[in-house]
Structure formats: structure tokens, C-alpha cells
Chain A
Amino acid sequence: MNEFVERQMKLTWRPPKKSYDVVIVGAGGHGLATAYYLATRHRITNVAVFERGYIGGGNSGRNTTIIRANYGIPAAVRFYQRSVDLYRGLEQETDRWLMHQQKGILWMAHSEAAVRTERMRAKLNTEFGAQTQFIGPRQVQELCPQLDMSGGGRWPVLGASYHPQGATARHDRVVWALAEGAMERGAHVHQNTPVEGLILDGERVAGVRTAAGDVAAGAVVSAVGGHVSRIAAMAGLRLPIRTHRLQAFVTNHYRQQFGPIVASSELFFYASQTARGEMLLGAEIDPQPSFSYRSSHDFVQDVCRRALCLLPFMGNLRVLRQWTGVCDMSPDYSPIMGRTGVDGFYLTTGWGTWGFKAIPAGGEQMAELIATGEVPELIAPFGLDRFARDRTMADRGSAGTH
């Protein structure tokens, strides 16, 4: 008996129609959330989501399931806090067990510069609605007794920012609940149906060419992860996006409870415990751009080494499984959402290493944009035109990891 076997969700597949009000490309978290919020908030259900593989098979199923809002610039803190809040209500709203668990996240500092960064993070977060406080070593140890506070003698923990609303949820279940919620209200999801081109009506995008034929659409939304540059090129757009690998791994079951999510931006790793008791570790993106899903040994080797400095108990745990996702990185490490300058074509991309935590807010805001035609205030700073306007959303403090 396995308590984690899915026993609630019901996915209903329907044949594609010739025309929809809205076509969304990519049935990952963001695409399905957009469909879900179009249906639940705006009663727009003549919607199709096209997926080249299976739902949630891209980065939505390859991330480390962390939810947090402790970012480094006001616009990002506000946006991700909205997502944190929506996640907190999502189980109740969908009546599905998403394994959402609030754990708190500790972001540790091993140098004075890092202490300063974490103090700054705490102040800025507090100002813009995310709860984060800077705490000293004693409190850090209380929250996470397994930490070696000396960092193996070399990386002492001088303090940490603590973000109690940091949480995790089962990534697949989030995807399925959103798919189910959209489907049961009439939206279509089509698996194994790649979008091969866009149908242009003059300057306007009027539909998509799919493996199952042409489909007309009032609006087309790209919620593609990994290969967004290619679909944008179909609309004549060149995106400031580079795609990089991001890897992670889990160990076997650890017999004790490991409470919070812990992260260290100087040792470049973070760790949390899954509902099954596995220790889940991640780190920064590969510096080399790539579309590969291949996992590498140097990644697991280096992360294991660094993690041992702070979590020596992990030495005897076996690593069970490695995996890799691909991240669309924008130049300023912030997402790109909204209009594109091409009529009828919308983008939600640049989800880098922070896509999972943004799923509900990203979907909610994109749905509002499509339904009302107005760019919601929350995502207005994240438009594609910000690069030309020199209004980048530079977030040095949050760049790089998760």
C-alpha cells in the first residue's frame, strides 16, 4: 500500500476541435494554470492546451518543488508572494491533496557579505509583504538540528534569513489538479500533439499548426518551457533567452524528519526532504547553454561534496536518482510575461529556475490579461519590452538557483 498513489484526479481527454477562443502551447504548470484561471475566474472555457509529450513532462515535472517569495526586488517579492498565497489556498480550492507543506526556508550566510545580503533580503521582503527575518546561528540550529554549524570547520553558519512561508508541493499533483480543474469546466488538453507552426493572418497570429491539423484561435499563448525561442521565432520574435540545464537529485529515505528547506548561496546548493523522506538536493544552473536532458556526474559529485560541509549526516545516504530540466534564462533573471507586440500572441517565459513557484500567480495573471485585455499591475514590470526600455528587473540577490 502506497499512500502516494494518486486516487483523486480525473483527467478527461477529448478530440481536438478546429477552433478555440484561446490556444495555449505547452501543458506544463504555466499553460495549464492559465487554462485553469481562464475557466475558474473568467468563465472562458473554449480553450485548448497543446502538449508535444505528456502533461507536466517538461520542467513542471523536473523541478525541486520549492515555493517561496523571498526575492530581492519589490516587483518580484509582490508577484511571488501572490503565488505563495494562491498555493496556500490551492488544495482547498481544487479539493485535491497537492502535498503542499509549509516548511520555512533558511538561506544561510558564511561570510559578512552574505550576512549583509540576507539582512537586506529580510528588510526588502518585509517591506513588500513577504515574511522574512534575519536570524542568528542559535535560532538556525534550533530550526535545523542536523546542520553542522561549523560548516565542516570551513563554512561556519553566521546566520540566515528565514522565510517561514517557504513551502513545497508535489509538482505532478499541482499540474494534474490544474489540468483536471480546467478540463472539468470544458477546456481541452491534447497530449502528444506538437505545435509545429503558427498561423498568421497578416500581422496577427490567428491559430496554430499542430500534428493533428490546423487550429484557429482568437489568442495564442506560448507557455513553452525549454524551446520557447523556437516558437517565438514562428511569430517573428527574437527573445533574449538562453536555455541552460538545471539538475537535481534525491537520496533514499532519511529516517529522521528534516524540517526546513536549507540553502546556501556560497556553497551553491539547497536541500529539503520530500514527503517520502528522501533528501532532495539542487544547485545552480549549468553555465553552458544546452537543451540536453542528460544528467552529469560532476554535478552530483560537487553538490554532494558541498552538502557534506553543512549536512554531514548525508554521508551515509545513497543517492537514488538524478534528473535534469532545461531553464529559459532571461538576461535579468526575471520572467517575461504579457503581450509581445504581435497581435494575438502572448508569452509567459523566462521561468529560469523559478517557474514552479510562480505557477498559480503566473496563470492567474496571464488569464486576466487575456480575458480583460489589460495588463495586470502585478506583471506590468515583467513585459518583454522592458529590455528595449532599459527597465530590466535585475535581481542579483536571487539569481542563479531555485
Chain B
Amino acid sequence: MATFLVDGQRVETRAGDNLLVAMLRTGIHPTGGGCLCMGGDCPNCLVTVDGVAYTRSCQVPARDGMVVQRDHLGGEEPALLPDEPGSPLRGIALHAGEDAGAPSVQRDAASRASAKGPAPVQHVHCDTVVIGQGDSGREAAREAKEVGLNVVTLDARDGQHVTGVYPGPLVVASDQAGHVLHVHPRREIVVATGAAEIQPVVPGSDLEGLVTARGATELVAAGIDLGRAVAVGERPAGLPPDSLVAHFPVGEGGWELVRFEGDGRIEAVVLRRHGDADAAEERIECDTAVVSLGRSPRNALARMASDLPVRIVGGAAMEPELPACPPEGTVCPCSGVTVADLDGVWERGFHEMELLKRATLAGTGTCQGGVCLPYLRSFLLERGGRLQPAFTARPLNRQLTVRELAAGAHTAVTARSPLHDEHLSLGARMDRAGGWWRPWTYGRKDDEYRSARERVSLGDVSSLGKTAISGPDAEAFLERIVPTRVATIRPGRCRYVLMLDERGYLLDDGILCREVSAGAGSGELLDDGMLCREADKGTGDRFFLTSTSGGSGFFELWLRDWAEAFGCDVRILNQTASLAAINVTGPEAARLLARAGARELPAFGRHRRVHVAGVDCRALRLSFTGELSYELHHPAADARRLWRRLLAAGGGFNVQPHGLETLLRLRLDKGHIVIGQDTDYDSTPRRLAHEWAVNLDKGDFVGRQAVLRTNRQPLDKRLATLRVNDPPAPDAGGPSAEGAAIHDEQGYAGYVTSDAGTAAGGGTPMLGWLYLDPEGNLPREVTVDGRPARRVDGPTYDPEGERARIAVDTASESPENVRDFPAVQPAATDLAGEGPSGPPRLRRLEATRVSATPAALDALVAEPPWPAGALAFRTAPDELLVTATPDFEVAGDPHAIVERETAFSYVWLDEATAKRFLDRECEWRRPEARPALAQGEVAGIPAKLWFEAGRALILTPAPFAAAFQRRLAGSLGETGEATP
């Protein structure tokens, strides 16, 4: 027995009742009246359940503690006070959250804290899914099972309401267990949803006391007394003969339904002899009208999936019967459309099915045409003499809530630098930028700025894209990728490079370094790169290329696509997450590094491997800030150690980290552009004043043809540096002039793309687009927001670049200040020796990643040089991840890239836990073989899955590990994603 509330009234009912039956048993009728179909086809039994409006009460089991409102719009209801003595709610554990029946915006606001995330999802893979378990559905399922197919059946009577059949193929259904089912059939979808009974639409069809034959049968079976029942149409086969007081067949030789009469509830049925408009009306008094006017196939699921492997069987496959459209009555109860409305729009020229629907809104409500569609078709046939097809079947067939539909979805995950927690502990405000959490400011932005300009500062640039490129064609490949001449970048040198798209517009920029070591994969640290030039000969080239934070995933694909297109023999290894990067910038940068134990530092425009604070770094010396700068790229696992030791060693210099906000200001002093901020989809190198970075004489590269073509067009605008002396006006709408129009004497002359908004005055630099005047000249004197501004030809800060290029002597640092740190010695993770234990926690993996030719990797795996017990995962034909240290060579490929890899986090799950988690969070079909490697998105995050007998390993990129951990915990709990 269930106890629940309807409009505050306590209702007790029998187990097994659906909500509609339970209400009717208590004498409570849904609002609005209308013929009850008991099959989910009409909108006449809608109520609000636990705050969810538009719920079909005939499709919901009556459950203990339900809070039901008869108002299906979810209107206001009196405040519920379950603890008060005498309250009808006492003793009932209510389902509704604080949100139930909340009448006001304020209540909504109050309920936000308890707002639920998406519902949990359950992924089910099968050969065949059969929707509907009536006779034909059971038969279809039996046949499929007999030939050995894996069959999933869904049935509304089990609470499985199919909302749509989608490309995939994917069948989405609700489930009584509170899950949302995503069924992925490989072979076939069988639609066996049967047929609906055609509803009456004559005057009075919105009275209470009308029920279809099927509905009547169910109600009588449930023991509900229909009173004096009159059948109209077919004799209901399922009813005992003595339950009817009269029966009137309709159609040829029978009767015609004219109207129902009554005041709120039916009192009489009015009929007359069929085909005779002048015949006298017969009025038959009754308590219930059982209406059976024909059947209409429930084929919407098949119609919305016409290009998928769908088979339709049984009643759902029948030809629809077309009832005559009565001269008056409500055709569409969802939208309240009458036959008179149809007549009106027909008379005004709306003759197409879709126009009739759109002009009246018939068929756009909850039942999606379940009631009106047969009548709309017969109406159009009668008026226009042409049988028009049904209007488009669109999802959703059965309406799930936003919360249910979100099941299985996650918002885009934002990557975390290995230094994320360090920034937080330093009080940083983190901000999303380019898909990463970056420290925006540590709360002292002027000091952050001064620290870089006057002393030394640290910046976390781990989010930079980083790619290692090697192979016999590496140089030739890069010549075709970047517009600069790669051949002149000598080993140990680095250069700022642009990357253009095929239209000649700037796609990205970065730093290209040529390695000093040809001992690809040796892992050997060389003391002086310049001596290794000879060693490069004969083994080809190796490069390291950085790119901006935003698009490193895209960037890798872009490089691989071009390598494929050009037929270049190269290895490409994306090390974006593998390497952290710290920019040490400021006049004292070299001294700080010397104190942290760095012996040899690269000169300007060079890079080299160097130990800093015991950490193996690639130090790269160019400058984005305008100061002496070393960008230290190092294994992600060592980032915290390096960061902390640098901060400690810099105590004497009052070293401060700087956030992204300060970095954007520092670079603006130098006029350096930021992709996406100062560039747009028409930014050619010429418009950006970056012709110096493009060499048109060196042979073809991506974008060269477009650059040649666009260079022939007259220049229209150019990115320029402006110097502004006055601070912004108080009414300028903020300190930054970004977006502000630039005017010259002729009027509009462009707009500002970058302004640090320091309000400093006294020569504040800005970047902005300036249009050329009709004579082809750039304006010199302009105004920005009314402030006088002058275009300048170079950077406003250190125009000669002396500060960045300054010669340094690390040996001058007095020895007592220098601290030596032992070199970090990685030890590979013993994955095989570990297993699932305790609550699942992700940990960082210490391993090695190899990029080499497929044949070389085949040979390597066949005779592994690493210790027994190490696990090797072939993650791509040309890539391998192995839990060993990178102290081996790839015999079959001298160009192989072998690098220490700490960019993954891992967790072992026992088989049952893995299944529970992956059934929810892994949409794709998992391999059945053991052992097996699979890769794809899990919980919205890229993952590698390794299945062994009895357990499974999950690997995920370390920048996503925190998010993965949260989603893992949330999913293994009973709720959806946990909220922090």
C-alpha cells in the first residue's frame, strides 16, 4: 500500500496501482477532463509529481511519499509543513525537494543550493532493442533471441518510456530505477509500440467520465466502478458484458457521435443515425462513456528514425485509420485548437499540413499529435481533396526532464597545471583561459609587474602547447609548416615562428627549437650543445615546437594532417601535458637560476638542457615580457619541486610570481601580439605588421600562396602600437580601452584590441587596428575614447630590446649563495605489482612514452628492453606508453623519440567497480577480450582503459585528474556528479 499526497490530501492506495488509477480510486480526477486513454497517448491525465509538471499519471506507478498536484502546470500550492501536528504530511518521507510547488522566484533561488545535477545514466549495448512488449514485441524479441542475438526489451509498463530514436543508433529511455537508459543496438531497432485509440473530439469531449475501451478495461480490472457505462464505437472486448448499459456502433449502418453533455462531468451521450444530418438526436444518460473510434499506429519512433535500421511490427505498423472530422469540437486538447480554428486558417490560405500545424499550434503539445493528427489529416483530405502525410515526427516522443536528458553529460573540463595547488596556496585567483586554469593575479598586480621589471618573477606557462618532432624529414616538414627558413635555425637555437592557415591568416605562433642532440631516445644530457653539431649528421633532425595554450589538441592534429598530406617521414609527440614550464623573467633571472644550481645558461635566441634545482630542464631564452627570460620546460612531476626551490632561492631578490593579467601587461609594453585577442579571421602577416616573420623566397609553406595573393591587394588596415598619455575619462566604462573606437580627423579609424587598463597615463601602450586613409597612409595622430594618442613605430618599452638580450655571467654569483641539489632520479611506477585497494584514488604515473615507426615499435614490443613486469600500452601505431624509465633505445628507428612521461594519472578498479563506473560513464562499447586496451572518452574526459582478468586500469591525462577523480567519486556514489 502506498501513501501519497494529492493537493495536500493524503491518499492511500493499493500497491501496483498507477498514479491515475490510484487517484480515480479515491475519487480524484485530473484537471481539465477529457477522454482517458491509459496508454500515454493523450494529454488528459497530466499532473505535477514531485515538482515535475506535465507528468502522465497513467504512466507513473503510485509511490509512497509522492507529492502530487492536480495542476499539471506545476502551479502554486499551499506551503507544506510536514512537522506540524495534524499536517496531512506527518509520517510521510517526502520526495519533493525544497523546489516543490515553489511559487516564487525567491523560492527558486533558495532551492539552488540543493539543485540536482544530471540524473545518472546507464549504457546498455546489445544487438537488437525491441521497444514495446505487447504480443508483437514479445514475438520479435523471442525470434531475435532464438538466432543468438543479444536483445534488450523496453516497455512502458516497466517504466521504460522511450524518448527518442537517434543516430548512433541510440535509443534513450527513462527507467524506474531513476536511471536514464542509453541503449546502443548494433543491428536493429524494433518498434512494437502498438496502436493508440483514436480520441473523440466532438463538443463535450473535455468532460470527465470519458474513457477509451482500453482505459475502461484497465479501470474495471482494477476494481473501479464505471457506473452506468455506454459504449460508443467498437464493443470493448475486454469488458464484461454486464458492465455496459448500452452500445452504439458508429459509422456506416450505425451511429454518429454528436456530442457529450454534462456540467464538468458527463451526464449523457448524444448520437444520431449515421449519414443523416436531419436525423433526430438520441440522448443516452450515463456515468461513463467508453469510446472506441478506431486505432492510430504509434509509429512516431519509427518515423523519426527513418534512415536508421528500424523495423516496425504489430499495431505500430498498421495503416492509420482516418476518422471523419466532426463539424465542431476541440481537435487538439494540448493547445486548445478547435475545428473552427482549422476552418479559419484554411479559409485564409493555410493549406499545407505544416502550415495548418504552425498556424494553429495543433500537435505541438505534450501528446505530439497523439489526439489531433488523424483529424488534421482527415480535415485536409475533406477540404483539399489531397491526403497529406503526417507532420514530421520529432523527438521527444516521451518527454524527459532537462535533468534526465543531461544524464551522462559533463561540462567541458578545464585543465590544471601541475602547479595549480601552488597558485592556490599563494592566494591566486584562478581564471579559465585557453582551456586551462591560469593564475590571473596573486592579488598584488602592481608588485607582480614591478617584480618582473625590476627584480625577478616566476610565471607558470605550463599550458603552452609543446610538440617534439623528429625524423629524416623533420626539417623539410617544418619548412612547409612555418613561414620562416628552418634551415638557418642551427642546433641549440630557437626562433619565434608564425603558423598560417591556407587562407594566409595567422593560426598560431610559437617558438621553434632545433635540438642539439641527435641521440634520439638516449635521454643523455649533453653539457654543451654546440659541440654536438657533428652528431646530428646522418641521423636527421629533431625539433621542439611550442604553440599557444588554446589549441594544442587541434595543433597536434593539424601537424599530423600536414605531415600525412606532404608524405613526410616524421615522428610527432605531443608533450603539452608531459612538460610543465616556468618562465623566470626579470633582470635578476640568471642570478636566481645560478643560485638554484644552474651552471650553464643559454644565450639569447638559444636553448639547452640544464639542471635547475636538481630538475632536468630545457631552458629556452627568448622573451615575451621584454626582460631577461628563461623558459624552463621540465617533466610535469617535477614542477612543484622546481617552483618551490626557485621561490626559496629567490628570497634575496624578493621574487614574486606573476599572473596572466600581469603577463598581458608586460608583453603589451613590448607590442607582442596575443592570438585571438589581437588577431581575427582576416589577420594576414602584413596586416599584423609581421612581414619580418615571413620568408616568401624559401619555397612553399602552408599559407604562402594566400600571402602572395593577398599581398597583391591594397592594404586596408594594420595592427599598430599606440601611445596614449591621458588616463581614461571617468565615464569611459572602465579602465581598459579595449574595444574603443579610434578616430582620426576623417572619423572612424579603427579600434583598440589590447590595453592593459592600468590607467597609468604617461605613455600607456595599446595595440589596435588602424585603417589606412585613401592615400594609403596610416594615421599618426588619433584619439581613443577622446584621449589623444600617437601611433609609434616600435615598442614603447626598451625599443632596442637590450634588456632581453643582455649578456649574463652566471659564474659571477658568489658560491655561498649557490645551492646544489641532487638530480631527480625517476623510478618507474610498478603498475603490475599494484592493484585495486581502498577507495579509488588517481595517482601520477611515472613512465616513458615512445614515438617511432610502427615496425620499430612492433620489434620493440616483441623483445622488450625494459624490465619484466613493466606494462606497455600501444596507444597508437606509432606510439607506446611503457612503465619503465626512458633508458633504452629503439633499435629499429634512429629517429625515435623516447621521453620520460609523467603526464598520466592512473587508478586500478576491481572488475565490479569498473563495470559499475563504466556502465555509467563510458558510452562506447568496451572490449570483451582480456587483456585489452581501449581508448576514448570516459566521464567526458579522454582516458585509456586497460582490462585484465578481474581488474581494470584507467589512465587519464594528469591535467584532468582532479576532474576525473571528482566524476569517479560522484558516479560511484548514488547521485550524479558531486557538487563541490
Which residue numbers of A lie inside 8 Å of B, CB to CB?
1-2, 4-7, 9-13, 53-57, 61, 74, 110-113, 116, 119-124, 127, 133-134, 145-146, 148, 152-155, 172, 176, 191, 251-253, 255-256, 266-267, 276, 293-297, 300-302, 304-309, 312-323, 331-333, 389-392, 394-396, 399
Q: Which of B106, B408, B733, B734 contacts A301 (CB 8 A)?
A: B408
Closest 4 CB pairs of A and B: A120-B739, A11-B349, A312-B115, A305-B409
B395 cross-chain contacts in A, Cβ below 8 A: 295, 297, 300, 321-322
Asked whether, in the complex, the Cβ of A392 is within 8 Å of the Cβ of B411, the reply is: no
Q: Across the interface, do B368 and A308 meet the contact criterion of CB distance under 8 Å?
A: no
> Other than the known A54-B355, A319-B402, what 7 A-B pairs have Cβ atoms closer than 8 Å?
A2-B336, A5-B360, A267-B411, A308-B403, A316-B403, A318-B399, A319-B405
Per-position contact with A for B735-774: 1 when CB-CB < 8 Å, else 0?
Answer: 0101111000000100100000000000000000000000
A208 and B664 CA atoms in complex are apart in Å by 57
Closest A residue, CB atoms, query B344: A7
> Are A390 and B709 closer than 8 Å at their CB atoms?
yes
Q: A119-B736, A122-B739, A146-B108 are in contact. Are A4 and B361 (CB under 8 A)?
A: yes
Other-chain residue from A13, A172, A300, A309 in contact with B359 (beta carbon distance below 8 A): A172
A124 to B166, CA, bound (A): 42
Would A2 and B335 count as touching, CB distance under 8 A? yes
Q: Is the CB of B402 within 8 A of A317?
A: yes
* B740 adjacent to A332 (CB under 8 Å): no
Decide if B53 touches A172 in the complex (CB within 8 Å).
Answer: no
Query: A146: which B residues are within 8 A, CB to CB?
Result: 105, 108-109
Write the nearest CB–CB distance from A13 to chain B, whole angstroms. 6
Contact of B401 among A5, A124, A319 (CB under 8 A): A319
Contact present for A319 and B396 (CB under 8 Å): yes
Smallest Cβ distance from B658 to chain A, in angstroms? 15
* Contact, CB under 8 Å: A321 / B364: yes
Among B29-37, B678-686, B913-921, the stretch in contact with A? B678-686
B795 interfacial by beta-carbon distance below 8 Å: no
Which chain B residues lie closer than 8 Å to A1 at the CB level?
336, 338
Answer whether residue B503 sits at the interface, using C-beta atoms and an 8 A cutoff. yes
Q: Does B400 contact A (CB under 8 A)?
A: yes
Smallest CB-CB separation from A312: which chain B residue?
Answer: B115
Whether the pair A301, B409 counts as a contact (CB closer than 8 A) is yes
B716 on the A face (CB < 8 A): yes
A331 to B680, CA, bound (A): 12
Residues 664-682 of chain B: 1 if any A CB is under 8 Å from the residue's CB, otherwise 0? 0000000000001100111
A294 touches B167 (CB 8 A): yes
Q: A5-B341, A297-B168, A297-B172 are in contact. Are A134 and B710 (CB under 8 A)?
A: no
Chain B 171-194 interface 0/1 with A at a Cβ cutoff of 8 Å (1 = within): 010000000001000000000000
Q: Is the CB of B736 within 8 A of A296?
A: no
Give Cα A293–Cα B350 distance, bound, in whole angstroms: 23
A316, B52: Cβ atoms under 8 Å? Answer: yes
Interface residue ranges of B572-599 to A (CB < 8 Å): none
Chain B residues within 8 Å of A134, by CB:
733-734
Binding site for A on B (CB under 8 A): 51-54, 73-75, 99, 104-106, 108-109, 111-112, 115-118, 164, 166-168, 170, 172, 182, 304, 307, 335-338, 341, 344-345, 348-352, 354-355, 358-361, 364-366, 368, 392, 394-396, 399-403, 405-411, 431-433, 440, 503, 660-661, 676-677, 680-684, 709-710, 713, 716, 733-734, 736, 738-741, 748, 751, 979-980
Taking A13-B349, A304-B118 as contacts, is the C-beta distance between A145 and B109 under 8 angstroms? yes
Whether the pair A323, B402 counts as a contact (CB closer than 8 A) is: no
Contacts of B115 in A (CB 8 A): 148, 152, 308, 312-313, 315
Question: Which among A54, A252, A266 is the interface contact of B399 at CB below 8 angstroms?
Answer: A252
From B115, B733, B979, residue with most partner A Cβ within 10 Å: B115
User: Would you call the interface of chain B mostly helix, strand, loop, or mixed?
Assistant: loop
Residues on A with beta carbons closer than 8 Å to the beta carbon of B710: 390
Taking a contact as CB atoms closer than 8 A, the residue among B410, B738, B740 that contacts A116 in the complex is B738
B939 to chain A, nearest CB (A): 12
For B75, the chain A residues whose CB sits under 8 A away are 255
**Which of B108, B738, B740, B748 contacts A256, CB < 8 Å?**
B108
Q: Flag if A318 contacts B54 (CB, 8 Å).
A: yes
- In the bound complex, do residue B399 and residue A315 qualify as a contact, i.e. CB atoms below 8 Å apart? no
Whether the pair A313, B394 counts as a contact (CB closer than 8 A) is no
**CA separation between A357 and B117, bound complex, in Å?**
34
Per a CB cutoff under 8 Å, which of B336, B352, B368, B680 touches A54? Answer: B352
Asked if residues B350 and A6 are in contact (CB atoms below 8 Å), the reply is: yes
What residues of A have a CB within 8 angstroms of the CB of B399 in the complex? 252, 318-320
Task: Write out the residue numbers on chain A whose beta carbons fall within 8 Å of the beta carbon of B74.
Answer: 255, 316
CB of A2 within 8 A of CB of B979, answer no
Which residues from A are CB-within-8-Å of B740? 123, 127
Q: A276 to B368: give the CA distance in the assembly, Å.
A: 16
Report B-chain residues with C-beta under 8 Å of the C-beta of A323.
394
Contact across chains for B108 and A313 when beta carbons are under 8 A apart: yes
Cβ contact of B53, chosen from A116, A152, A316, cutoff 8 A: A316
- Residues of the A chain whose Cβ atoms lie less than 8 Å from the Cβ of B408: 301
Tell me the smallest distance from the CB of B116 to a CB of chain A, in Å: 6
Q: List 9 A-B contacts (CB under 8 A).
A: A9-B349, A53-B354, A253-B54, A305-B406, A308-B406, A318-B54, A318-B396, A331-B681, A394-B680
Q: Are B433 and A113 in contact (CB under 8 A)?
A: yes
- The listed residue with most B CB atoms (<10 A of its CB), out of A123, A266, A389, is A123
Given A1-B336, A2-B361, A297-B164, A305 and B410 contact (CB-CB distance below 8 Å): yes
Give bound CA distance, A294 to B361, whole Å: 21
Q: Which of B51, B366, B406, B682 contacts A394 (CB 8 A)?
A: B682
Tell me which of B112, B307, B348 contacts A312 (CB under 8 A). Answer: B112
Residues of A within 8 A of B734 (CB): 119, 134
Task: From the candidates B403, B440, B503, B681, name the one contacting A315 in the complex (CB within 8 A).
Answer: B403
Contact A255 B716 (CB under 8 A): no
Cα separation A127 to B748 with both chains bound (whole Å): 9
Judge whether B748 and A74 touch: CB under 8 Å. Answer: yes
Chain A residues with CB under 8 Å of B394's CB are 295, 321-323
With contact pairs A119-B734, A123-B740, A321-B396 given, residues A253 and B73 touching in the complex (Cβ less than 8 Å): yes
Q: In whole Å, how far is B750's beta carbon from the nearest beta carbon of chain A?
A: 10
Residue of B at shortest CB range from A113? B433
Which of chain B's residues has its CB closest to A114's CB? B432
| A119 proximity list for chain B (CB < 8 A) | 733-734, 736, 738-739
Contact of A153 among B172, B350, B751, B980 (CB under 8 A): B980
| Contact A394–B681 (Cβ < 8 Å) | yes
B238 → A minimal CB distance (Å): 31
Q: In the assembled complex, which residues on chain A have CB atoms less than 8 Å from the CB atom of B751? A: 120, 123-124, 127
Cα of A112 to Cα of B681 in the assembled complex, Å: 22
Min distance, Cβ A31 to any Cβ of chain B, angstroms:
16
Of A4, A123, A255, which is within 8 A of B733 by CB?
Answer: A123
A155 to B979, CA, bound (A): 12
Q: Please, which residues of chain B bring their CB within 8 A of the CB of A315? A: 115-116, 401-403
**CB-CB < 8 A to B350: which residues of A?**
6, 11
| Minimum Cβ distance to chain B for residue A156 (Å) | 10
Asked if B53 and A317 make an inter-chain contact with CB atoms under 8 angstroms apart, the answer reads yes
- A119-B738, A301-B405 known; A112 vs B166 contact (CB < 8 Å): no
A112→B661 contact, CB < 8 A: yes
Q: Are B99 and A152 in contact (CB under 8 A)?
A: no
> Considering the chains assembled together, what is the distance between the CA atoms of A55 and B769 in angstroms?
43
A146 to B99, CA, bound (A): 13
- Shortest beta-carbon distance from A400 to chain B in Å: 12
Complex: chain A residue closest to B660, CB-CB: A112
A391 touches B716 (CB 8 A): yes
A173 to chain B, nearest CB (A): 9
Bound-state Cα–Cα, A302 to B923, Å: 14
In the bound complex, what is the Cα–Cα distance between A37 and B139 (angstroms)?
A: 61
* Given A5-B341, A320-B399, A390-B709, residue A256 in contact with residue B54 (CB < 8 A): no
Cβ–Cβ < 8 Å partners of B661 in chain A: 112
Q: Is there contact, CB below 8 Å, between B403 and A392? A: no
In the bound complex, do residue A255 and residue B355 qualify as a contact, i.e. CB atoms below 8 Å apart? Answer: no
Cβ of A300: which chain B residues have Cβ within 8 Å of it? 395, 405
